[in-house]
Amino acid sequence: MDKSKIQKLKKDLEEDKEKVEKELESIAKKDGKVKGDYDTRFPDFGTAQSPDESALEVAAFESTLPVEYALEVKLQDINNALAKIKSGDYGQCEKCSKPIDEKRLEVMPEARTCTKCQKKK
Ligand SMILES: [Zn+2]
């Protein structure tokens, strides 16, 4: 892959990273101990006075967890891709070591595997 293309994808990745981090911050507080790890903030609807209100809080908490998880995975993939750009391994499938299709990287610059390996999963 030529350098200018990689630079463009790097820019996309950095923009994505910023977006994902902002989204994570809006639903979770950053864990100071583990870099890149976030704790989902327990939503506060005020002091729960009835069992109904507590149930509502738990439901809201549970619904943000999968979102937080998906964002964290995406952030890890983005960081992984940025590290690979630095080391010069970017665009290589992690499973079969073949180059990942450029079209796939344009749509999903954080992709770790080629389309073939992705399908096998
Ligand atoms: Zn592959």
Residue 108 CA to ligand 1 center (angstroms) comes to 15
Over residues 81-108, the mean pLDDT reads 96
pLDDT digits (tens, 9 = 90+) for 54-87: 777 777 778 888 889 999 999 999 999 999 999 9
Residue 59 CA to ligand 1 center (angstroms) comes to 39
Residue 16 CA to ligand 1 center (angstroms) comes to 24
Residue 36 CA to ligand 1 center (angstroms) comes to 27
Q: At what angle do helices 3-27 and 51-87 cross, to 10 degrees?
A: 160
| pTM of structure | 0.73
Question: By the 8 A CB rule, do 111 and 104 touch?
Answer: yes
| The pLDDT of residue 52 | 72
Tokens of 102: 């450029």
In the chain, where the domains are located: 3-120
| The pLDDT of residue 58 | 78
CATH (residue range 3-120) = 1.20.120.910
Residue 101 CA to ligand 1 center (angstroms) comes to 10
Average pLDDT over the chain reads 85
Examine the pLDDT at 38 and tell me if it is beyond 80: no
String of DSSP letters for 17-64: HHHHHHHHHHHEEEPSSSTT-EEEPPP--SS--SHHHHHHHHHHHHHH
Examine the pLDDT at 37 and tell me if it is beyond 70: no
pLDDT digits (tens, 9 = 90+) for 19-33: 999 999 888 765 555
Residue 63, strand partner residues: none
Residue 117 CA to ligand 1 center (angstroms) comes to 4
